[in-house]
Structure 1
Amino acid sequence: MRVIIGSCGHKFAIEVGLQEPVVDIKNKIAQLLGVPVASQTLAVCGLELLDGLDMEDYPIVSDGTKIDLTIKYRMAPSNFYHSDKIQIIIKFSARQLHIEVDRTETVRSLKEKIHIMDGTPIKRMSLFFCGTELEEDFRHLNEYGIHEFSEIIVFLKSMSRVKYDPPSKRLSLVVQTSSSLLNSARIPMEMKDSSTVKELKELLLSGKILPADDYLFIHKQRIMRDNCSLKWHGVDDGDFLYVFKGTVCRS
C-alpha cells in the first residue's frame, strides 16, 4: 500500500507492506532524505509508530494514510565528528530546510533530495553557496567547500529560463543613502547581477559618488555580504539598496 509521509508542510509518498516493520520504513526515509533513523519519529493522529511493530499492528494505517514525520537531530559526541555525514541548511526566500548529506555527494543528488522534501522541480533550481552558483551537477559538495551547517541558497528559475539561462543580466537599481549621508540622496546605478556588493561599493567610491569611508548595504531589510553577488542576494531590476556608514562583523 502507499502511504503519505508529511513533515514541516511537505509531503511525499512511499510504498510499504502490511508486515513491514516501522524501522524498515524509517530506513526508507533515511535513504530518501538522509535523515538518520534515530532522528525520526513517525506518528498517525498523534499515535507514535514503534520500531518493534509492523504495519499490520496499526489498523489505523491503510492505503493513502498520512504519517507525520518529526525530525529531531541529536548532537553527536565530539569524537564522532569525523563522519562524512554533515547537516546543511537549504534556504528559500521564505522558508528553510535542514538536510543531512554526505560530503562527497553530488550537486545533482542534493537537488534530488530538495525535490523530494519540497516538491521543487529540479530544472528550476539554481543553488548558490557563498555567492557561487553550484553549476556543475556532477561535482561533489566538498569541491565547493560546503561543510557542516553551510547555508545553500535556492533561487527558482522562471519557466522561460528553464531551457535558457543567461549567465548574467544588467540591472537598473537605486542606491538610497541615509539622512546623514548626502542628505538622503537617490543614486541610480546599472550593474550586472553577477557583480558583487564589493564591486558596487568600489564603483561608488572610485567615482567619488560616496566619500571615502566604510559602508554597509541593506536589501529588503537584510545586510548584504561584500563577496556575494547581487543575484545571490535576490536583487531584481528596479530594487532599492540602502547604504549606511559602518561595518558589520560576522562570526
Structure 2
Amino acid sequence: MEVGYWDTALKIKEKIQMCTGIPVSNQKLIYFGQVLPDDHDVDKCAIINDSHIDLIVHSGYVKQPPVIRLQLKTGPRSGVHLPVDVKDNVLWLKERLQKSEGKAVDKLVIHATGAELCDQQLLGEVPDNCEIDVSFRQYPATAGIRWAKNKVEVTLWSYRCGTKIPVEVNGRDKVGKLRKEVERLQKLIEFNLPEDGYFFIHKQDVMEEDKSFFWHGVSENDTIEIFPGRVTYGSR
C-alpha cells in the first residue's frame, strides 16, 4: 500500500478499509512490536519505504466483497452506474473509458468531489455511489510549437532542506530529464536530496517522468516539489 508522508495511522486504517472492507474500528496496526496511535503520522512513527506493518483484525468481523459503485457522468445527458473493484486505480478507469469513448488516455480528465483525480489514485478512496465527472482535455493546436521554442522558468523546492531554486525547462522535455538536472545541481551547490529516493510533485499531483512538462500542464513560475520516497505502480 502506498501512503503519504503525513498520513496518520487512522488515515492508513481508512485506506485499508477502502481496499479490504475491514472497518477501522476492527483494526489494530503493529510496527516493530508497538501499536500505532491513530493520531501519529508516518514521520512520527518512523515508517520508511518498504516497511512491514502487522494488521490485527478483531474477532467478530465478517468480510464484505471489496466492490464499490461509481456514478460516471461522461456528458450533459449521459451517465452510467459502474461497479468497480476498490483496488482499481484511476488509470485503469481511463483505459476502460478509452475503449468505450474512443479518446486517448492522456486526454481524459476524471473529477470527483470537486477535485481532479491522479492516475495512481485508488478508486476505493472515492466515496461509494459518488458522481464522477469525465471530461476531455483539449490542447491548443499551437501549444506544441510555443513550448518547443520557449523555455519556462519554474521553482524547484525541497521541503527537507527548505531550498528553492529557479530552473528553466522545455515544455516538450520529459520530466525524467529534470532528475539529471537536479543531480547536477546537487554537485554544484548545497542542495541535499533525500537519500532513499525522491519523486516530483506539481500542484499536488505526482509527476510521471516519462511524460512531458506540457503534458503535466506546467507553466511559467510554477513550483515543482521534490518529495522523498519512491512511486510504485501496480499492474493488472
TM over 0.5: no
What's the TM-score, normalizing by structure 1? 0.40
What's the TM-score, normalizing by structure 2? 0.42
